[in-house]
Amino acid sequence: RFLIKGGLAGAAVYVAYDQGLLGSGTEGAEALRKAQETLPPAIQEWTDYLGWEVRAAQLPSTPKIDFSLSASWNKGVHTVMSALSVAPTRACEYTVEGWKYVKDLVK
């Protein structure tokens, strides 16, 4: 079981890499454009093969994805740097609170 799951995970990572999903933003946008062009004909081919009747109006439209990887990355960097900048102050505050707690226990 573990080998099958590992093989499937490895294959998924390989396909994602091969299609350009793990590359730059332009490669990811190109892969999304290819998927949007390829999926409707593929779905139509499978429905014809299975004998299902699917009209184009029944298929949902592809969602519009407005996600900026660089903006998310920058927000994460700002959050980490903000936390690191207040870390010494917070460490001093927690140390003072800890000493007060220990003094109260000793009394």
The pLDDT assigned to 56 comes to 52
Cα–Cα dist 29/5, whole Å: 29
**SS3 (DSSP) at 26:** helix
Please say whether the beta carbons of 54 and 43 come within 8 A.
yes
Pairwise CA distance, residues 98 & 53, whole Å? 70
Q: Where are the domains of the chain?
A: 1-59, 68-106
pTM passes above 0.85: no
pLDDT tens digit string along 52-71?
665 555 566 767 777 777 77
Position 13 confidence tier, pLDDT thresholds 50, 70, 90:
confident
Q: What is the pLDDT of residue 53?
A: 65
d(CA 72, CA 66): 12
Higher pLDDT, 37 or 8: 8
Taking the C-alpha atoms of residue 85 and residue 100, their distance in angstroms, rounded to an integer, is 25
Mean pLDDT highest for which of 4-13, 29-38, 88-97?
Answer: 88-97
User: 8 is written with which tokens?
Assistant: 């499937």
